[in-house]
Structure 1
Amino acid sequence: MTEKLKGVLKNKNNLIVIVLLGVLLLVIAIPVDKKEKVKENDQTSQNSAGGNPAGGEAEQSEAEAYCAYMEEKLEKILSQVDGAGKVQVIISVKGTGERVVEKDHPVSRSGTQEKDSQGGNREVSTVDSGESTVFVTASGKSEPYLVQVLQPEVEGVVVLAQGAGTGSVSKDIAEMIQVLFGIEAHKVAIVKMEDKSV
């Protein structure tokens, strides 16, 4: 083993590739830490600016509740597939979803026409537009008016099924998941469940 390693390291091309891979790994690892620090700073600035500190936690718990709900529904439907047997499902999602609020877009237009003493005409028109969030007051609280709540995007699905060893059962389960969530086949994993009765 050590002779093989020495042989690889003696070749200059291999040594250069190894050094470049090491540098690449360092470059990739450094921005990850900075992004986490930026997110912490953003949350701190939101809190100091009067933002809702529990907003992120509430959105996270909503995403987890959505996942749990969809996992339960999927387990029920997949367990009814012929030959699937007992089924367990794990769904991973991207983000926490999105809330679309109503925006008010007031526009005001004004125009004037002037004639000067030399017979020339001048027309001045002004258009002012803006955008503001529409708020609704309920129970003494003023909250943005929600037009739409978009659920988080499903990123991948893992299915453990007793009958997953056969090709047709796995194929049927994979096709069902692709149709339900609109995800590609490589984002679906179907695995045979361990038989604990043995």
Structure 2
Amino acid sequence: MGKSNIKSDLAKVINDKKFLNAVVIALILAFLLLAISFLSTTRKKETEESLSTSVDNSSAIEEAAKDTMSNYEESEKQTLRTLLAKIENVGEVEVMINFKSGEVKVPAIEENTQEALTEETDSQGGNRTTTQKNGGSTVVMAGDGSKNEPYILQVNKPEISGVLIVAEGASSAKVKYDIQVAVSTLYGISIDKVNVYPMKN
């Protein structure tokens, strides 16, 4: 008798429209929660991958810039060493160059200027003229469709702030002065930024 009562109570509850509506609403809510959870996880993964890619790209750009700067510095030192060694009585030379900044790329810029002239007449017959100028500039981009980059007009080499030279013949005041003048002229820096010292025997 107890079992049949339970069965009939269950049948009543299952056939009750309110109960069915509550079950349907609970199922819909559960489905929505699963969908939101899945979408947020997917977006989180995409964001992490995007951040990882941008960090990798910026690291690669920084490494390339360091390599370029290092190669330029080494090339300048070697050229200067070779030139100075050819000056009479200079002998063996060691060079250190200090750069103020890295390589500077100057992009092409398009200037956009607009001018609007407004003339107004008030009720007493007075005239007023207003001129409004709007201007702006944008960087000119160039690319092959898959990749756009700024169009570079010129590349300014790194600016040199000082040079240190150790030379065999620098114990002679004349040789020291000749080295300072040569380096000053070559790099367009003042003589006081060129430090020359004799090499230890």
Task: Please report the TM-score for the alignment, with normalisation by the length of structure 2.
Answer: 0.62
Q: How does 1:30-49 map to 2 (within 5 A)?
A: none
Bigger Rg, which one = 2
Larger proportion of helix:
2
User: What SS class does the counterpart of residue 164 from structure 1 fall into?
Assistant: helix
**Closer, same or farther in 2 for the Cα pair 1:53/1:132, shift >3 Å?**
farther
CA RMSD across the alignment: 2.9
| Correspondence for 1:84 | 90
Matched length: 150
* Residue of structure 2 aligned with 1:67, choices 68, 73, 95: 73
Displacement of 1:175 in angstroms is: 1.4
| Correspondence for 1:129 | 135
**Closer, same or farther in 2 for the Cα pair 1:50/1:163, shift >3 Å?**
closer
Displacement of 1:50 in angstroms is: 11
User: What SS class does the counterpart of residue 179 from structure 1 fall into?
Assistant: helix
User: What SS class does the counterpart of residue 129 from structure 2 fall into?
Assistant: strand
Q: How does 1:171-182 map to 2 (within 5 A)?
A: 171-182=177-188
Range with greater deviation from structure 2 (100-109 or 158-167): 158-167
**Closer, same or farther in 2 for the Cα pair 1:169/1:139, shift >3 Å?**
farther
List alignment gaps of at least 5 residues for structure 2: 1-52
Range with greater deviation from structure 2 (122-131 or 156-165): 122-131
**Closer, same or farther in 2 for the Cα pair 1:50/1:118, shift >3 Å?**
farther
Displacement of 1:103 in angstroms is: 1.4
Displacement of 1:123 in angstroms is: 3.3
Mapped partners of 2:56, 2:127: distance in 1? 52
- The residue type paired with residue 98 of structure 2 is S
Q: How does 1:1-198 map to 2 (within 5 A)?
A: 52-115=58-121, 119-138=125-144, 140-195=146-201
Mapped partners of 1:91, 1:139: distance in 2? 41
Mapped partners of 2:122, 2:167: distance in 1? 86
The percent of aligned pairs where both chains have the same amino acid is 31
Mapped partners of 1:102, 1:50: distance in 2? 28
Task: Please report the TM-score for the alignment, with normalisation by the length of structure 1.
Answer: 0.63
Mapped partners of 1:148, 1:57: distance in 2? 22
Mapped partners of 1:124, 1:185: distance in 2? 55
Displacement of 1:122 in angstroms is: 4.0
Mapped partners of 1:129, 1:50: distance in 2? 37
Displacement of 1:52 in angstroms is: 3.6
Displacement of 1:116 in angstroms is: 5.6
- The residue type paired with residue 135 of structure 1 is M
List alignment gaps of at least 5 residues for structure 1: 1-46
| Correspondence for 1:4 | none
Contact in 2 for aligned 1:60/1:96 (Cα 8 Å):
no
Displacement of 1:48 in angstroms is: 7.1
